[in-house]
C-alpha cells in the first residue's frame, strides 16, 4: 500500500510556485494577488481562509481578506465582488462558502468575473471544463488529478466510481476522470444517495473517489483488492484519546480499507492540502494571463 501524501505533494507545488513568482517579479512582473471574502465567523471557514492567507505569504503572493458580518446584505456582498472584479491589481477572487441562508450562493458565484474565478465554480469555467477547454479547474478535483499524475497512477481504461454528486467535488470529478486526457480516460460511474446496490458498484472500482461527508462510510467489504482510494471527506468527531478532545475522520474506514488498497489518501494530510495548493496554482495562471 502506497500512501498518497497530499501534504508533501502540496508543499512541493508551493515551492515550485514560489520559484515562478520570484522569476516573475525579477522579470518586471507584479506579484500575484488573491482576494478572499469571508462572511460570518464559521470555525471551519475561518480556519480554511486563514490557511489560504498563510499559503499566499509562503509563495510570495499578495493577499487581501475582506470580512463581513453574518447579517451583511446580498447587495453589499455583490457590490464588494464588483469592486474586486474591477480592481486590476487583484488576479483571483474567492468567496468562502457556505454563505448565510439569506444570500443566494449561485448569484454571488455568477457575479465573479470568470477571469478571476480561481475556485473554478463559475458556470463559464464549469462549461469550459466539460468541453475540455483550458480553464480554472475546481481546486479539490484539480488537486486529486495532480496526486494521480505525480504518483503515476494509471487511469486510462480503468473503472472510476465517484460517491457524491456535489458541484464542488463529485460532479466535476466525474467529468474530469472521463475526459480524453491524462489523468482521465476512465469509465466513470457517479453514485449518490439514490443509488441502489452501491456496494456491488464500488466493489468493481479500480479508482474510488469518495466525497460524501459521512465518517468512515466506506468499509473493507465495499472495495476490491488493489483499489486506489481518494478520500475527500473530513468529519470532526469526539475522541477521548486526543488532547483536543476530537479527531478528524475521512469518508473511508482507513485502517481496514488500506489493507486492500494499492494507493490511498490519508485524512488529514491527503486531499485537503492539495486544494489550497491548486488554488494558488490557478491564481498564478491568472496573474500570468495564460487562459483569457
Q: What percent of the chain has pLDDT over 70?
A: 100
Fold adopted by 139-272: Rossmann fold (3.40.50)
Q: What percent of the chain has pLDDT over 90?
A: 89
Query: Picking from 36-45, 171-180, 183-192, 223-232, which range would have the lowest pLDDT averaged per residue?
Result: 36-45
Interacting residues of 149 by C-beta distance below 8 A, sequence separation 6+: 182, 183
Binned at pLDDT 50, 70 and 90, residue 76 comes out as very high
Q: Beta strands of 100-173 (E only): which ranges?
A: 159-163
Q: Where in the chain is the domain with CATH 3.40.50.10860?
A: 27-113
Q: Mind listing the pLDDT tens digit for each residue in 128-141?
A: 999 999 999 999 99
- Do 252 and 231 touch, CB atoms closer than 8 A? yes
Q: What is the pLDDT of residue 244?
A: 76
Active centre residues (catalytic): 52, 96, 119
Q: What is the pLDDT of residue 237?
A: 82
Phi/psi of residue 68, each to 5°? -130, 150
**β-strands 235-238, 92-95: how paired?**
unpaired
Q: What is the mean pLDDT of the chain?
A: 95
Taking 90 as the threshold, does the pLDDT of residue 41 lie above it? Answer: no
Binned at pLDDT 50, 70 and 90, residue 105 comes out as very high
Q: What cell numbers appear for 42 in the block?
A: 464559521
The residue whose grid cell reads 480554472 is 136
Interacting residues of 208 by C-beta distance below 8 A, sequence separation 6+: 160, 161, 163, 202, 218, 223, 227, 228, 229, 230
Q: Where in the chain is the domain with CATH 3.40.50.720?
A: 139-272
The reported pTM is: 0.94
Fold adopted by 27-113: Rossmann fold (3.40.50)
Is residue 269 exposed (0-12), middle (13-18) or buried (19+ Cβ within 10 Å)? middle
Instruction: Work out the average pLDDT over 190-194.
Output: 94
Amino acid at each position: 500500500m502506497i500512501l498518497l501524501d497530499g501534504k508533501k505533494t502540496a508543499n512541493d507545488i508551493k515551492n515550485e510556485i514560489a520559484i515562478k513568482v520570484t522569476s516573475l517579479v525579477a522579470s518586471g512582473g507584479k506579484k500575484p494577488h488573491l482576494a478572499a471574502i469571508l462572511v460570518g465567523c464559521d470555525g471551519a471557514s475561518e480556519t480554511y481562509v486563514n490557511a489560504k492567507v498563510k499559503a499566499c505569504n509562503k509563495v510570495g503572493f499578495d493577499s487581501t481578506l475582506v470580512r463581513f458580518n453574518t447579517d451583511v446584505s446580498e447587495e453589499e456582498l455583490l457590490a464588494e465582488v464588483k469592486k474586486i472584479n474591477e480592481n486590476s491589481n487583484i488576479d483571483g477572487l474567492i468567496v468562502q462558502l457556505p454563505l448565510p441562508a439569506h444570500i443566494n450562493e449561485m448569484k454571488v458565484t455568477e457575479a465573479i468575473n470568470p477571469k478571476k474565478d480561481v475556485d473554478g465554480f463559475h458556470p463559464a469555467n464549469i462549461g469550459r471544463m466539460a468541453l475540455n477547454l483550458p480553464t480554472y479547474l475546481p481546486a479539490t478535483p484539480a488537486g486529486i488529478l495532480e496526486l494521480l499524475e505525480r504518483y503515476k497512477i494509471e487511469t486510462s481504461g480503468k473503472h472510476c466510481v465517484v460517491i457524491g454528486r456535489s458541484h464542488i467535488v463529485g460532479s466535476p470529478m466525474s467529468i474530469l476522470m472521463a475526459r480524453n486526457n491524462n489523468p482521465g480516460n476512465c469509465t466513470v460511474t457517479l453514485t449518490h444517495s439514490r443509488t441502489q446496490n452501491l456496494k456491488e458498484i464500488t466493489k468493481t472500482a479500480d479508482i474510488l473517489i469518495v466525497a460524501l461527508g459521512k465518517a468512515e462510510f466506506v468499509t473493507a467489504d465495499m472495495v476490491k483488492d488493489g483499489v486506489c482510494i481518494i478520500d475527500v471527506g473530513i468529519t470532526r468527531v469526539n475522541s477521548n484519546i486526543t488532547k483536543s478532545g476530537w479527531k478528524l475522520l475521512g469518508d473511508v474506514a482507513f485502517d481496514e480499507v488500506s489493507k486492500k488498497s494499492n494507493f490511498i489518501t490519508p485524512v488529514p494530510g491527503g486531499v485537503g492540502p492539495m486544494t489550497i495548493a491548486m488554488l494558488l496554482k490557478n491564481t498564478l495562471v491568472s496573474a500570468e494571463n495564460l487562459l483569457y
